[in-house]
């Protein structure tokens, strides 16, 4: 057998192997496609995987519930949030009142003088840089000389124009030199409402949150007065770990609701045993208003 014949046979064998490989691959692709179609596509496979996971540990898919707070805890939290909310609203109102007073005084008794630039600095932040200019001047109020030192945030363009040790014009209120503005940036009559909006908005949100805790307090009082105690069986206990933390859960049958899971502390997780009973108190007409009595279980 000559060399050309050997080369031809080798090429034919190689082509045969390639054709066979393609045919087998095509066969398995067709078979897999049919299997995928029978399973309902990718969504069907995902549903099967979820069903398998649920059968392995059904409690993973039980709804998470939050027990009703203790009445005292809910009341203390409610009072605390009321104080914080009213404090934020009061702070916003006071700051806004001072803003309006400063604008009025600068308009009625503003005096333009020269101040000396004592420093320039830049504060770097994630949302960009903030530019500051520090300056000092002497004012007179009620026949007393006052030396005032200020540090104001300014636009980049103004920051670049001024020099350390240079002079800038400022305007201050004769009766209170502490009320002062850089004259080049001064807008007569302009009132800033941002502090009121921010603090007032935060105060309102805190008071809305307070209403939620007050609702918890009312439920807790009713639970203490009308709650029905019952023993339920621990269906499962497990922990869920991620990169940041570990969560502990106990699952049980909540009367009138069905199987649920509750996030618990590590101490409770280590105490409960699957199959044991725990005592809870709940409202029959509102089963989701309940509280486990771990200390009595």
Domain ranges of the chain: 96-192, 227-296
Q: Is the pLDDT of residue 46 over 80?
A: no
Q: How far apart are CA 254 and CA 262, in angstroms?
A: 11
Kindly state the average pLDDT of the residues 177-188: 92
Share of the chain above pLDDT 90, in %: 64
Q: How far apart are CA 90 and CA 148, in angstroms?
A: 28
- According to the model, what pLDDT value does residue 29 have? 52
- According to the model, what pLDDT value does residue 28 have? 57
21: left (phi over 0), alpha (psi -120 to 50) or beta: alpha
- According to the model, what pLDDT value does residue 243 have? 77
Fold topology of 96-192: OB fold (Dihydrolipoamide Acetyltransferase, E2P) (2.40.50)
One-letter-per-residue 3-state SS of 136-156? EEEEEECCEEEEEEEEEEECH
**CATH code, 227-296:** 2.40.50
Distances (CA, A) of 153 to 93, 129, 182: 23, 11, 10
Distances (CA, A) of 214 to 72, 231, 282, 283: 11, 28, 19, 18
- According to the model, what pLDDT value does residue 2 have? 38
Three-state secondary-structure class, residue 186 = coil
Q: Is the pLDDT of residue 11 over 70?
A: no
The reply to whether 227-296 shares the fold of 96-192 is yes
- According to the model, what pLDDT value does residue 100 have? 93
Q: How far apart are CA 97 and CA 88, in angstroms?
A: 14
Q: Is the pLDDT of residue 225 over 70?
A: yes
Q: Is the pLDDT of residue 267 over 80?
A: yes
- According to the model, what pLDDT value does residue 242 have? 80
Q: How far apart are CA 66 and CA 147, in angstroms?
A: 59
**Average pLDDT over the chain, rounded to whole?**
84
Q: How far apart are CA 132 and CA 144, in angstroms?
A: 29
Q: How far apart are CA 228 and CA 286, in angstroms?
A: 11
């Amino acid at each position: 057998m000559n060399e050309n014949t050997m080369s031809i046979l080798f090429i034919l064998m190689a082509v045969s192997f390639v054709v066979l490989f393609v045919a087998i691959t095509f066969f398995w692709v067709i078979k897999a496609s049919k299997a995928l179609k029978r399973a309902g596509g990718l969504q069907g496979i995902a549903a099967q995987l979820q069903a398998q996971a649920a059968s392995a540990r059904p409690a993973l898919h039980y709804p998470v519930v939050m027990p009703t707070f203790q009445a005292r805890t809910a009341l203390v939290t409610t009072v605390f949030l009321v104080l914080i909310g009213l404090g934020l609203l009061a702070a916003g109102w006071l700051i806004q009142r001072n803003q309006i007073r400063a604008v009025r005084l600068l308009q009625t008794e503003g005096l333009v003088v020269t101040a000396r630039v004592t420093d320039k600095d830049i504060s770097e932040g994630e949302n960009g840089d903030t530019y500051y200019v520090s300056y000092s001047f002497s004012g007179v109020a009620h026949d007393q000389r006052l030396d005032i030192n200020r540090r104001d945030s300014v636009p980049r363009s103004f920051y670049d124009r001024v020099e350390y040790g240079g002079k800038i014009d400022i305007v201050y209120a004769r009766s209170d030199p502490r009320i002062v503005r850089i004259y080049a940036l001064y807008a007569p009559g302009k009132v800033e409402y941002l502090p009121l909006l921010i603090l007032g908005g935060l105060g309102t949100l805190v008071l809305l949150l307070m209403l939620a805790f007050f609702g918890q307090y009312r439920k807790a009082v009713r639970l203490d007065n009308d709650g029905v105690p019952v023993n339920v069986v621990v269906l499962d206990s497990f922990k869920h770990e991620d990169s940041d933390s570990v969560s502990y859960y106990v699952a049980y049958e909540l009367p009138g609701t069905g199987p649920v899971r509750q996030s618990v502390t590590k101490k409770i997780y280590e105490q409960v045993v699957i199959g044991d009973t725990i005592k809870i108190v709940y409202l029959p007409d509102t089963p989701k208003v309940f509280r486990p009595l771990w200390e009595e279980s």
